[in-house]
């Protein structure tokens, strides 16, 4: 067997009206947790849906920027009893939070767990033995992170400058609701950073050592849609047709990297987010062209990859990334308050197992130094 492609999720494309009907039905059941932000509920007129539900339902006002070990412990205390179902409607952090509850709730005493216990369960991989996990329904409100298509979640440990993954077959959402209308209220910076994250997922899936023909078709379509329509969305933010194209591009990117995981760009990005708070999408897009330069000779069907970008050269791609970002965020390390002399410290933290070694060539420290210096 050369390869297998597997995503055991039921996908539904919905409008807001379908969402209201479906949510009403699910929230009438006992012990349901909904993770959604108050802004999302207000902006999409969902208040009525939530006012008629029974009292065993828990709503998290999810507006955190990243999921860290302390937040998990704090939020666990709010759950009234073990949930039967978790519905997460939000960005990647909301969906990752649902996965953390699913994987870890079994190890809490009525929601009580310490940060050290969370770290131990994750790093010892004890959560893999969990047979009482909680099913998840996910709906992504950003066109970006792809967490609605994957079986893993990112958890940050700022106390120890570490980034963890929980990764288990049971963490695939059972359903994913695709609702492009929910992205209409996303501000410019979030629209850009999440789309750049999706674009990186598509590129990294394409050149990953675990790539395959289905992944490559999905990646090319994702790249084509995002490259053509992201600039249009950014100049016409309320255009639903353009939003739908970027949403589907991001969805295809999610399907692509769900079967490969990511590579060097993501591996290098983690310390940039941990140490400097650089938003994930910017942190990965920063090195995309530099990594591509080095991977070029190892990419199968490279011409088709470049066709998807509608680019003749890597310089064209670099130019596209800088142009689409220029009015919102300069993609240089110096614009995020990184000091040049700190690059030596960053390099040591860029080698994440399962990411750097998933790149078609494994970089050494000197090559990472070159990449980071070129984007300083
Ligand atoms: Fe990502």
Q: Where exactly are the structural domains of the chain? A: 10-180, 186-374
Q: Average model confidence (pLDDT) for the chain? A: 93
- Calculate mean pLDDT across residues 317-346: 96
What separation in Å is there between the alpha carbon of 127 and the centre of ligand 1?
23
What separation in Å is there between the alpha carbon of 280 and the centre of ligand 1?
7
Residue 175 is predicted with a pLDDT of 98
Q: Class of 10-180 per CATH? A: alpha beta
Task: Considering only residues 44 and 371, tell me which one the structure prediction assigns the higher pLDDT.
Answer: 371
pLDDT one-digit tens code per residue, 273-288: 999 999 999 999 999 9
What separation in Å is there between the alpha carbon of 266 and the centre of ligand 1?
7
What confidence tier does 266 reach under pLDDT thresholds 50, 70, 90?
very high
pLDDT one-digit tens code per residue, 35-71: 888 888 888 888 888 876 766 667 776 566 678 999 8
What separation in Å is there between the alpha carbon of 246 and the centre of ligand 1?
16
- Calculate mean pLDDT across residues 169-198: 96
- Calculate mean pLDDT across residues 132-146: 94
What confidence tier does 136 reach under pLDDT thresholds 50, 70, 90?
very high
Residue 265 is predicted with a pLDDT of 97
What separation in Å is there between the alpha carbon of 145 and the centre of ligand 1?
6
Residue 171 is predicted with a pLDDT of 98
Residue 57 is predicted with a pLDDT of 65
Architecture of domain 186-374: Up-down Bundle (1.20)
3-state per-residue secondary structure call for the chain: CCCCCCCCCEEEECCHHHHHHHHHHHHCCCCEEEEECHHHHHHCCCHHHHHCCCCCCEEEECCCCCCEHHHHHHHHCCCCCCCCEEEEEECHHHHHHHHHHHHHHHHCECCECCHHHHHHHHHCCHHHHCCCCCCEEEEECCCCCCHHHCCEEEEEECCCCEEEEEECHHHCCCEEEECHHHHHHCCHHHHHHHHHHHHHHHHHHHHCCCCCHHHHHHHHHHHHHHHHHHHHHHHCCCCHHHHHHHHHHHHHHHHHHCCCCCCHHHHHHHHHHHHHCCCHHHHHHCCHHHHHHHHHHHCCCHHHHHHHHCCCCHHHHHHHHHHHHCCCCCCCHHHHCCCHHHHHHHHHCCCCCCCHHHCCCCCCHHHHHHHHHHCC
What separation in Å is there between the alpha carbon of 313 and the centre of ligand 1?
24
Instruction: Say whether pLDDT at 364 is over 90.
Output: yes
What separation in Å is there between the alpha carbon of 333 and the centre of ligand 1?
18
Residue 277 is predicted with a pLDDT of 92
Task: Considering only residues 146 and 78, tell me which one the structure prediction assigns the higher pLDDT.
Answer: 146
Residue 40 is predicted with a pLDDT of 85
């Amino acid at each position: 067997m050369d390869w297998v492609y597997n995503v055991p999720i039921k996908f539904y494309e919905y409008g807001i009206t379908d969402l209201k009907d479906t949510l009403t039905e699910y929230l009438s059941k006992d012990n349901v947790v909904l993770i959604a932000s108050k802004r999302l509920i207000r902006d999409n007129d969902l208040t009525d849906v939530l006012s008629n539900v029974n009292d065993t339902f828990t709503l998290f006002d999810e507006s955190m920027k990243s999921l860290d070990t302390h937040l998990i412990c704090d939020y666990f205390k709010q759950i009234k009893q073990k949930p039967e179902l978790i519905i997460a409607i939000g960005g990647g952090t909301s969906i990752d939070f649902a996965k953390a509850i699913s994987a870890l709730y079994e190890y809490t005493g009525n929601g009580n767990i310490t940060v050290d216990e969370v770290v131990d369960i994750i790093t010892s991989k004890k959560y893999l033995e969990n047979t009482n996990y909680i099913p998840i329904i996910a709906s992504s409100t950003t066109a970006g992170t792809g967490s609605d298509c994957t079986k893993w979640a990112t958890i940050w440990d700022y106390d120890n400058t570490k980034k963890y993954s929980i990764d288990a077959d049971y963490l695939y959402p059972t359903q994913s609701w695709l609702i492009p209308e929910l992205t209409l209220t996303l501000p410019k910076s979030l629209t850009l950073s999440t789309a750049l994250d999706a674009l990186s997922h598509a590129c990294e899936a394409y050149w990953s050592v675990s790539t395959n023909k289905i992944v490559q078709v999905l990646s090319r379509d994702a790249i084509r849609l995002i490259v053509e329509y992201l600039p249009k969305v950014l100049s016409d933010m309320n255009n639903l047709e353009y939003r739908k194209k970027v949403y589907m591009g991001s969805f295809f990117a999610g399907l692509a990297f769900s079967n490969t995981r990511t590579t060097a760009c993501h591996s290098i990005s983690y310390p940039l987010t941990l140490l400097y708070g650089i938003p994930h999408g910017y942190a990965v897009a920063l090195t995309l062209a530099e990594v591509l330069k080095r991977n070029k000779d190892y990419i199968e069907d490279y011409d088709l990859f470049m066709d998807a970008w509608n680019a003749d050269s890597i310089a064209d791609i670099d130019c596209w990334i800088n142009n689409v970002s220029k009015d919102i965020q300069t993609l240089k390390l110096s614009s995020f308050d990184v000091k040049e002399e700190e690059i030596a410290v960053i390099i040591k933290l860029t080698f994440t197992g399962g990411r750097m070694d998933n790149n078609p060539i494994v970089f050494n420290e000197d090559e990472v130094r070159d990449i980071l210096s070129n984007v300083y």
